[in-house]
Amino acid sequence: MPLILDGRVVRTQKERSLRSIVETLDRKPCLGIIQVGSLAPSNAYIAQKKMCAEAVGFDVDHVQLPGTISEYDLLKKIEEFNTDPDVDGVLVQLPLPSHIRPQAAIDAINPIKDVDGLTKVNSGKLYANDPSGLVPATARGVMSLLEHYNIPVAGKHALVIGRSQIVGRPIALALMHRNATVTIAHRHTKNLIELAQQADIIIAGAGQPGLITDEFVHEKSVVVDVGITPIELPEKKLVGDVDFALVSPKVAAISPVPGGVGPMTVISLIENVLQAYQSRDQFLD
Ligand code: NAD
């Protein structure tokens, strides 16, 4: 049987240590969430973030704006959070309605409070391997999951499938900074199966259910499934990119969906809020 990379176990452990840190602080860290409209998946993601933040003793200031709000008014709201001394971390829940440019909203966030790590300042810091930056939560979560289970990364060949700004690219950079040899694959990659067979670690972040089958892996493969796709049939559930039933008996370690990277992403966001709180303290000293 493979080692199951259980994100819920790691989240519980991290929640405990965050709670004990919060008890030592003069003020509770606060996460500001800006939502535009009320898409059902966004409501669900925000509920998870709120629940986790409150479970560790953080405050949450969730502002829900009408889906018709102008980009200008959204940027004004972001600026209010930027300058609010009681708010440590700010995130704008994506996706936004099509009349608002997502990068304009992201770039309006003060990089010190950018707990999704998506501003150009934090992307640049990740590129430069500057630890003062805020790293996108999924990348931080994948690295913490590997670390928790003592999966060696240095010198290993990691294949990252997906190159998005929010998932694939930051994960690839984070792995490279930990001395992995990284291959980044995407929709145009021709020989995905051969690349996967050569890899020690496969990080699947394509959003394509069933993409990774037993042909892709070998007995020493470590497979981390970032994909989350809701399906309706044969039953309503969330599935990853990996065919877990086919792949899990053939590999050394694997993360499930749900219960793998998902909980790690949420707890890593909360860790980013604490990091933002601590950087603000240093900045204001
Ligand atoms: P995206 O659509 O922006 O990017 C997908 C990437 O995968 C692209 O780079 C694309 O080229 C690549 N890709 C698609 N099909 C491919 C294929 N057949 N072969 C090789 N590469 C392929 O999506 P995203 O925002 O990066 O999200 C990816 C997945 O991760 C989605 O399922 C999303 O729901 C999930 N996700 C999970 C978490 C989490 O916490 N677990 C967080 C964010 C996103």
- pLDDT band at residue 280, thresholds of 50, 70 and 90? confident
On whether the CB atoms of residues 18 and 274 are closer than 8 A, the answer is: yes
pLDDT tens figures, 229-261: 999 988 999 999 999 999 999 999 999 999 999
Half-sphere exposure of 24 (CA within 13 A, CB side): 6
Range 123-152 average pLDDT: 98
Residue whose token pair is 């939560």: 137
120 is catalytic: no
On whether the CB atoms of residues 30 and 58 are closer than 8 A, the answer is: yes
- Nearest in space to 261 (alpha carbons), one of 1, 19, 14, 10: 10
**Nearest atom in ligand 1 to 189's CA:** 20
- Cα-to-centroid distance, 165 and ligand 1 (Å): 10
**Nearest atom in ligand 1 to 141's CA:** 40
In terms of Cβ atoms closer than 10 Å to its own Cβ (0-12, 13-18, 19+), residue 48 is middle
N-terminal to C-terminal alpha carbon distance within the chain: 52
93 is catalytic: yes
**Residue 193: what are its φ and ψ, rounded to 5°?**
-65, -45
- Cα-to-centroid distance, 90 and ligand 1 (Å): 24
pLDDT tens figures, 20-42: 999 999 999 999 999 999 999 99
- Cα-to-centroid distance, 25 and ligand 1 (Å): 37
Residues with CB under 6 A from ligand 1: 138, 161-164, 166-168, 185-187, 189, 192, 205-208, 211, 226-229, 261-262, 265
What percentage of the chain reaches a pLDDT higher than 90?
97
**Nearest atom in ligand 1 to 229's CA:** 32
Predicted TM-score (pTM) of this structure = 0.97
**227 token code pair:** 């994909």
Ligand 1 atom 4, closest CA: 164
Range 188-193 average pLDDT: 98
49 is catalytic: yes
Angle made by CA atoms 148, 204, 228, in degrees to the nearest 5: 90
